Structure 1
Amino acid sequence: MKPRSSNVKSPAKAPAERVVKDIRRQTRRHFSAEDKIRIVLDGLRGEDSIAELCRKEGIAQSLYYTWSKEFMEAGKRRLAGDTARAATTGEVPP
């Protein structure tokens, strides 16, 4: 008798995995840019610890630190003038 391969998924397990993926997809929260900035600025103020802030907002600390890093990098690029700023209608000559 051949030993069963461990990397072969049983047919009964596949639908269950699909259900779990669907649940994760439906419960995933999407934060607006304003929410991300507000949360990062709250963390930078230092009134609460990062752990407390993340618990209050319902996010992982790793996500907070990712947003914080992106926020700082975007600020550095903007101050260095690396990004092109879109002209407003008042600045565009006719």
Structure 2
Amino acid sequence: MPGRKWTVDEKMNIVLEGMVPGANISEVCRQHGVAQSLYYKWRDAFLAGGRAGLQSGPSTREQELEKQLQEAMSKIGEQAMEIDVLRKNRTGAGSKQPFLGCSARQGRVSGPSDCESIGAESNLLL
């Protein structure tokens, strides 16, 4: 037979009732139909959560997000350098034709005729 599902508010109220000075944990558990071992699990989780809320400094989640942000910024920097190298190699290798593109962001185009076919202006990307 599965046990009863307790809401967060019910658990918190039972834990707080047991934390009142002079409270008899056995009696509190009996009144609410909760095993003492379960009460102590709830109490420990409640206190651990309270400690986490009182900690100063960034949380673990904030630290993880900061790490992801730094990795993304690093990747963007690497890609920007690669783009610069490719542009320099494209124009610096004796190529007479600069890279042509469209100002419209509609699919891939390779030259002015492609730009005209989608109704966009061509421009030079150096």
Question: Same-fold call, TM > 0.5?
Answer: yes
Q: Equivalents in 2 of 1:60, 1:76: separation in Å?
A: 25
Match of 2:17 in 1: 42
Aligned to 2:41, which of 62, 66, 69?
66
Match of 2:4 in 1: 29
Q: Deviations over 1:38-57 (max 9, x none)?
A: 00000001353000000000
Secondary structure at the counterpart of residue 30 of structure 1: coil
Tell me the number of residue pairs that the alignment of Structure 1 and Structure 2 aligns: 60
Aligned alpha-carbon RMSD (Å): 1.9
Identify unmatched segments of 5+ residues in structure 1. Answer: 1-23, 86-94
Q: How is 1:1-94 mapped onto 2 (pairs within 5 angstroms)?
A: 24-25=1-2, 28-81=3-56, 82=59
Q: Equivalents in 2 of 1:53, 1:32: separation in Å?
A: 17
Q: Which runs of 4+ in 1 moved over 6 A?
A: none
For the Cα contact (< 8 Å) 1:43–1:49, is it kept in 2?
A: yes
Identify unmatched segments of 5+ residues in structure 2. Answer: 63-126
**Relative CO higher for 1 or 2, CA cutoff 8 Å, sep ≥ 6?**
1
The alignment's TM-score, normalised by the length of structure 1, stands at 0.57
The alignment's TM-score, normalised by the length of structure 2, stands at 0.44
Q: Equivalents in 2 of 1:41, 1:84: separation in Å?
A: 27
For the Cα contact (< 8 Å) 1:54–1:60, is it kept in 2?
A: yes
Which structure has the greater CA radius of gyration? 2
For the Cα contact (< 8 Å) 1:77–1:83, is it kept in 2?
A: no
Secondary structure at the counterpart of residue 31 of structure 1: coil
